[in-house]
Each structure stands twice: as structure tokens, then as C-alpha cells.
Amino acid sequence: MAPKIPTRTDAVCECACGGTMTIATVAPIPDKADHMRHVYHCNDCDADATFDVAKKATELAKDSAKQTAGDAPLT
């Protein structure tokens, strides 16, 4: 059974052993500028899982920040 693929905001994901994997490192990927490499580590079986995660959360955050600023009342 393969580990469940976490979303970009997940700090934990389910391991193939049934345990819980917690995020260990997040690093940029030199040849994938729009992705981050999330590495999860399982404390139960000591496995590591690596996922390349699109950085869309950052873009969405920027967009909503702009909207919020534009919609903010002047008072």
C-alpha cells in the first residue's frame, strides 16, 4: 500500500505502515521553480516519503491578500 499523498498544507500524512508521517523538511527544487519538495518522516517505521508539491497555495494567498486589500473599507 502506497502512502497517501498529502496536500501542500498537510503537516502530517498517513504512512504505508499505518502510522503517521510528520513533515521533516520543505525545500525548493532547483529545476521546478513552481514546486517545493516536502519530505515526511514516519516515526513508527522510520520511512521517509518525498512529495513534490505545487506552490499554488502561495499564489492563492497573494491573490486573496490583494482582494482583501482592495475590498478593505476606507474608514
- For Zn ion, the closer of residues 46 and 63 by Cβ is 46
* Binding of Zn ion by 15 (CB under 5 A): yes
For residue 58, how many other CB atoms are within 10 A of its CB? 12
Per-residue binding letters, 31-50, with Zn ion (x by CB under 5 A): -----------x-xx-x---
Q: Candidates 8, 10, 14, 17: give the one binding Zn ion (CB under 5 A).
A: 17
In degrees, to the nearest 5, what angle opens at C-alpha 25 toward C-alphas 3 and 39?
Answer: 20
- 44, three cell numbers: 513508527
Distance CA 56, CA 72 (A): 24
Q: Which residues bind Zn ion (CB under 5 A)?
A: 15, 17, 19, 42, 44-45, 47
